[in-house]
Amino acid sequence: MKTIDIHAHLMPQSFWRAAEAGQAWYGMRLEEINGRQFTTNGVRRDGVTSDKLNSTPLERIEDMDRQAVDIQVVSTATPMFGYDLESKDGLSLAKDINNEIHDMTTEWPDRFLGLGTLPMQDVSAAISELERCISTLGFKGAELDTIVNGKNWDEPEFLPLFKAAEEMGAVLFYHPQPNNNIVSEQFEKYSMGNSFGVPLEDTLVVATLILGGILEKCPNLKVCVAHGGGAACFGMGRIDRGWQVRSEARKNISRPPSSYQSQLYYDCITMNERALRFLIDEVGIERVVLGSDWPYVAWDPSPVHWINSLESLTDSEKENILWRNVASLLGIEEG
C-alpha cells in the first residue's frame, strides 16, 4: 500500500493570481516586509514561510516523490479559513478552495485526496458545503480551525455539524492557526505561537471534544487532531482527576475523559520519538497516522524516513502509521 499523508496544505492559485494582479482575495492581500512575504487581512498577518506554497500540482508531486509520500490528503492553509467573513463571502471562499482541490483530485486521483474547508460562521451553510464535498466532490471530510470566531466547539450551535458529519462518515481534521492563538496573542516572543501555541490549541480542542460531550453524543464521529493532539494525552491524568472531583467536569460525559481519547485519531507530528511512543502507548497504534504539515515543516529528508528510522517502533507499527490507519480512517481499500 502507498504512504498516505493526512496533513498537507494548499494556498490556492486563485489567491496567487489575485496577488500577482495587486488585488485582494476575500479581503486578504500579499505584502512584503524586509524581504519577507506575508498574507494580511488588515487585522492579522501570517508569514508565507515556504516558497512551495505557490507550487503547481506537478511541482507538489515532485516534492512528494522526494519525500516518499505517495498520496497527500490536501486541505487549505489555515490563514484562509475565512471564518471572519460575511456568511456569503465565507461560503464563496470555501467553494473556491474546495473546487481547486477537487480539480487536483480529479486530474491526479492516485496522488491527491481532498479535505474541504467550511464556512463555519454559518453552520447551516457549512453542513451544506460538507455534503457537497462528500457527495459531489468525492472528498473524505473537512479541515477545521480549533476555534470559531472566539467560540469553542462545545457550543450547542455546532452539534448539528457533528451529527451531519457522523452520518456522512466525513472525517473532521482539526488544525490551529500558528499566528492566531492563545499564546501568539499573549506571548509574542521566541515564535512561541507556533512552537507552543499550536500544540496548546490542539490540546484544548481534544479536551473540548471530550468534556463537551461531542464524542459521547456522536460515538461514530471521525476526528483527527494535528500535531499528535498536542499535550492532551500527557495531561489526561489531570483531566481525569478533574472529572473525579469536580461536578462541572462530569456535566456532559458519563465516564472518565481518558476513555474517550481512543475515539480520536492523531497525526504523528510530535517531533520527538519518545513523545510519539507515549502517544501510541496511550491511544493505541491504530489511532496514529502519517502527517507532514507540507510545506511548512522542512523534514530532513521526510516524515516517511523519520518514521522508518525510529528504533522504538516495530515494522508493524510503522506500517500502521504510514498507511494502514489512514486508509482505515478514510475508507480507502488496500491495494
Question: Strand 112-117 and strand 141-144: pairing?
Answer: parallel
* Within-domain flag for 47: no
CATH number of the domain at 311, please.
3.20.20.140
Cα-based distances in Å from 191 to 8, 196, 258: 22, 8, 31
Q: Which residue has the higher pLDDT, 45 or 229?
A: 229
Query: Are the beta carbons of 321 and 1 closer than 8 angstroms?
Result: no
Examine residue 280 and state whether it is found in any structural domain, yes or no.
Answer: yes
Alpha carbon 224 to chain centroid, angstroms: 7
Percent share of the chain, pLDDT over 90: 87
Report the percent of the chain where pLDDT is more than 70: 97
DSSP state letter for 294: B
Average pLDDT for 244-253: 97
Owning domain of residue 272? 4-10+56-330
Q: Rounded to two decimals, what is the model's pTM?
A: 0.96
* Residue 69 domain-assigned (yes or no): yes
Q: What is the mean pLDDT of residues 52-79?
A: 97
Q: Tell me: the pLDDT tens digits for 107-143?
A: 999 999 999 999 999 999 999 999 999 999 999 999 9
**What pLDDT sits at residue 188?**
72
Q: What is the mean pLDDT of residues 162-174?
A: 98
Nearest to 173 by CA among 143, 202, 145, 141: 143
Which segments of the chain does DSSP mark as H helices, in order? Answer: 13-20, 57-66, 87-107, 123-135, 159-168, 182-186, 192, 198-211, 214-217, 236-245, 273-283, 303-309, 315-319, 325-330
Per-residue confidence (pLDDT) for residue 190, from 0 to 100: 77
**Count of the separate structural domains present in the chain:** 1
How many C-beta atoms lie closer than 10 Å to residue 29's C-beta? 16
What is the rounded CA–CA span in Å between residue 107 and residue 110?
Answer: 9
Q: Is residue 244 part of a domain?
A: yes
Q: Is the per-residue pLDDT at 335 higher than 70?
A: no
In a domain, 31, yes or no: no
* pLDDT at residue 20, as a whole number: 95
Judge contact between 115 and 75, C-beta under 8 A: yes
Residue 216 has pLDDT above 60, yes or no: yes
Residue 90 covered by a domain: yes
How does pLDDT run across 81-94, given as a tens digit for each residue?
A: 999 999 999 999 99
pLDDT at 103: 98
Q: What is the DSSP letter of 166?
A: H
Q: What is the mean pLDDT of the segment spanning 237-263?
A: 97
Query: Span 144-159, mean pLDDT?
Result: 97
Question: Which of 40-44, 113-117, 327-331 is predicted with the least confidence, judged by mean pLDDT?
Answer: 40-44
Examine residue 150 and state whether it is found in any structural domain, yes or no. Answer: yes
Give the model's pLDDT for residue 181.
Answer: 66
Q: Is residue 28 part of a domain?
A: no
Q: How many CA atoms lie within 13 A of 60 on its CB side?
A: 26
